[in-house]
Amino acid sequence: MTVSNDNLTTLALAIKAWGRELGFAEIGIADIDLSRHEAGLQAWLDAGHHGEMDYMAAHGMKRARPAELVPGTIRVITARMDYLPRDAEEGWRVTEETRARDPQAAVISVYARGRDYHKVLRARLQQLAERIRAEVGDFGYRVFTDSAPVMEVALAEKSGIGWRGKHTLLLNREAGSMFFLGELYTDLPLPVDEPASGHCGQCHACIDSCPTQAILGPYRLDARRCISYLTIELKGSIPVELRPLIGNRVYGCDECQLVCPWNKFAQRSVLADFDVRNGLDAPTLVELFAWTEDDFNRRLEGSPIRRIGHERWLRNLAVGLGNGLRDLRGAPESEALIAALKTRENDPSGMVREHVTWALAQVAERIPLPLPQAGEGWGEGGRDEERS
């Protein structure tokens, strides 16, 4: 298929308009040269900072070489989609910070409170591809949403959508970082957009605020210390020295985003998909710890949370309950937390039992919080590497 340059320019503009009609906040177009990222990616992997996320290393440098992942690719259409719930109040960041300090509250990352973003973005990117096909005929493409070896942040930065913040997430002047990214690899020779420039300046609020010191320095993330990794990606026991630092965060962590000045511009989603479900914006630890496996699967159907399974869900909640006991020791409210933990002292899962035992021990002595030792490394960053 041959399309003239004038028609390609018109097509690129049309693709951006169609993207907005499909609920995307912005569409950008990038070439596929990511060679300058290869050395950093390899160093990050060599340092082991991807932890148990073996998929980060499984494809070698295909992550930085789109044409090796999808032969024939010469352009990447990148898309961002806002996920702040439609009814988020003006002071949502203050509300989130307040809940993070409440020893009885269970905090779930904002992006995970509605429908699974993988499904939403993938379906709408597929619709975008179909609109393009209707216009130009058959063409080569493949859709990705945080589901393959794709350097999402690097491609989005290259396509002008935003810049990599010091926490390794993408930032946008008009929308902060509260959005998802998706990509459409294609063989269409579309005109590319100008890369975005950085605007973090001397700010290092994200680095200072990280509860586990996972952000080792500007643009350097040790995923093994990241609360999102510990509560989502890690399959086994959470390291004992990091448990007190997790606080009441039971799925993901938004701390580096909450303190980022650019998120005063965070935009609310235009889609109902990311509206809060099952009261996940204000649950208690005791309430969620009481869910049976059937409750977990039923209530979280269509949610990204469901992928960690009930066992890891209980593991995370046990840590939150233990940290709550540390803060409430001696207060009447602590009795409910102790009672909840005791219901699972004999849980069939050895991992759950181990975390429950640790949690109950927190009532005996208020141990000073350990500080992890910062290492060296570099991270691609992302919500589930991530981390929508």
Positions marked catalytic: 146
- Please give the DSSP secondary-structure letter assigned to residue 373: P
Report the alpha-carbon distance of residue 246 to residue 226 in Å, rounded.
9
* H or E stretch covering 30: strand 26-30
- CA nearest to 61, candidates 75, 45, 73, 49: 45
Report the alpha-carbon distance of residue 275 to residue 268 in Å, rounded.
10
Contact status, residue 53 vs residue 174, Cβ threshold 8 Å: no
Report the alpha-carbon distance of residue 126 to residue 111 in Å, rounded.
21
Letter string b/e over residues 271-308, b meaning 16 or more CB atoms within 10 A of that residue's CB: bebbebbbebbebbbbebbebeeeebeebbeebbbbeb
> DSSP states of 287-316 as a string?
HHHT--HHHHHHHTTT-GGGGGHHHHHHHH
Taking phi over 0 as left and psi of -120 to 50 as alpha, with beta for the rest, 302 belongs to left
Angle at 187 between CA 181 and CA 188, to 5 degrees: 90
Contact status, residue 374 vs residue 334, Cβ threshold 8 Å: no
Q: Is 26 exposed, middle or buried (0-12, 13-18, 19+ CB in 10 A)?
A: buried
